[in-house]
Amino acid sequence: MNLYKTTALVTAFTIFEHLLGFVYRIILSRTLGSEGLGVYQVALTVFAVFLTISSSGLPITLSRTISKHRARGYREGEHKATAAAVLLAAAVSGSITLLLFLLRTPFSGIFSDPRCADVFYIVLPGLTFTSVYAIIRGSFWGNKRFFAYSLIELVEEIVMIVVGVVLLVFAGGGIADVNKAGAAVLISYLCSFTIASVYFAAKGGRLRSPRGELLPLIRSSAPVTAMRTLSSLVGSLISVIFPLRMMAAGMSSARAMSAYGIIGGMVMPVLMIPNSFISSIALVLVPEMAECYYKKEGEKLAELVKRSLNAALLIAGALIPLFAVCGEGVGIFLFGNAESGQLIAASALILLPMSVSLIATSMLNSMGCERQTLLFFLVGAGSMLLCVWLLPPYLGSGALLAGMAAEYVVTAVCSLFLLVKKTGRLRSGSYFVRILLATVLTWGAGRLLKLALMLCTNYILAHILLIIALGGLELGLYRLLKLFYPIAFLKKFFGRKPHPRTEKAKRRRGLSRRTRAPLRMK
């Protein structure tokens, strides 16, 4: 498998998927308004808690288990592990769905706005379908079927957007717009489950008796599930606590919900742009790292860790100056909201610890360090909740962003220390210093250039020229500091691989020359 080309393929799919999702967020922000977007965000955040409980730890654990069985040549174990994961996901999600419908009245009381409960129960029937789909997707991941994995994810996003736009524009009947958006999410879940199931069967996917795989899968997935469940739970708590703390700081209920909608629905999608690239890198490298780990190929594993960290640093370093200098314009152009742009610019530095934390956690999970990453998450989440509780009177909406920064810094630092312990040492120190230098220089030059352009031309043209200039300056600095070579990078993706027969013939000719050489010397 060509890691570069596979990563390029997955990245292209992921970027396109997130780009579509980003456009859909813009449509929702302008259709629902910041308050309606806050309602939609709160409902999906609570739904994410139960989705996480049902299946979140299983896909990555199944992927690693399949990689382990592949390394040992145990094909039957792959089918057993997949069956065990499907059984667990279906049982847990089905039980949760039934229980929540039976307790609908008391459970709806946890929402501060009744509209959130309506959206939640519209999406809830899709819990079992999307949980099982996540398991099937995990089997694709473990078997390195990245094209199917990425394509079905993209189709799910397209279906949600198309259905959502059609319902918002054409559906009437007195249905609230936020409920229409919830129905689009449900339909997309049903669609992705159907496509993945058909593809799984067509490619020879089989479910065998889960005996012997069920308990190991539960033990391995429990820490990851706990971490992601707690992460979703923390997100749900914040969606409830943050508006309350903003109200305690003097805001009205509508203004507090609007503030959460701005951060959750406008700022966060922009800040999570690096995740589009990093998730692609993790998707391709995690099965490869798991195989190296179980085969005890330490040198190759260390090299993969180095490449992954360097890629995460490069992505963060490239985007920080763009967000810091042009963030305000991004908020105005995309969302028609100046406050969101100011928050994007102010929180640009979060990208660095966030990128490192995301890639490091994925790598550690591939090495069987789920319990340690759970502990790191708990410490980081505690610091985030503390910031959200204490800082709103002083920072306002920025309290939530300060909490995110604290969480990512804690998890990134702890994860790097553990990676050092696992691989001997990290080889990205020099690369980090050079990335930091390039980022600071680009940031400073961008600030000066922005002042000059704003005096010479109009607001829109100034930002277009600024983005082009910053991109060119970054490429020049990266080439000068030996961080990134565009031509060499493209050759690794698009260079033609020698045909196996050609390589074999070359080796034979070389062997023939070596065997004839002594005769010529005589």
For residue 436, the model assigns a pLDDT of: 92
DSSP class of 208: -
Structure tokens at 196: 């993945």
For residue 519, the model assigns a pLDDT of: 38
For residue 200, the model assigns a pLDDT of: 85
Q: What whole-number distance in Å separates Cα of residue 477 and Cα of residue 484?
A: 9
Q: What whole-number distance in Å separates Cα of residue 8 and Cα of residue 20?
A: 18
For residue 173, the model assigns a pLDDT of: 62
pLDDT digits (tens, 9 = 90+) for 45-69: 888 888 888 877 778 778 777 777 7
For residue 516, the model assigns a pLDDT of: 45
Structure tokens at 264: 């959750």
3-state helix/strand/coil string of 212-232: CCHHHHHHHHHHHHHHHHHHH
- 3-state secondary structure (DSSP) of residue 296: coil
For residue 444, the model assigns a pLDDT of: 92
Task: Give first-to-last CA distance, the chain, whole Å.
Answer: 45
Return the closest-CA partner of residue 410 out of 378, 433, 386.
378
- 3-state secondary structure (DSSP) of residue 204: coil
Residue 456, classified by CB atoms within 10 Å of its CB into exposed (0-12), middle (13-18) or buried (19+), is exposed
Give the Cα-Cα-Cα angle 280, 282, 283 (nearest 5 degrees): 65
pLDDT digits (tens, 9 = 90+) for 430-443: 889 999 999 999 99
For residue 521, the model assigns a pLDDT of: 39
For residue 412, the model assigns a pLDDT of: 92
pLDDT digits (tens, 9 = 90+) for 283-314: 677 777 777 777 777 778 888 888 888 888 99
> H helices of 143-176, where?
146-170
Given CA atoms 329, 333, 335, 337 in this order, what sign does their dihedral have? positive
Return the closest-CA partner of residue 210 out of 98, 95, 67, 58.
58
- pTM for the model stands at 0.68
Place of tokens 């000059």: 452
Q: What whole-number distance in Å separates Cα of residue 286 and Cα of residue 431?
A: 22
Would you say 383 and 406 are in contact if contact means Cβ atoms under 8 Å apart? yes
For residue 515, the model assigns a pLDDT of: 46
How far is C-alpha 217 from the chain's CA centre?
23
Q: What whole-number distance in Å separates Cα of residue 197 and Cα of residue 130?
A: 11
**Parts of the chain with a pLDDT under 50:** 493-494, 497-500, 503, 506, 511-522
Q: What whole-number distance in Å separates Cα of residue 24 and Cα of residue 207?
A: 37
Conformation bin of residue 495: beta by default, left when phi > 0, alpha when psi is -120 to 50: beta
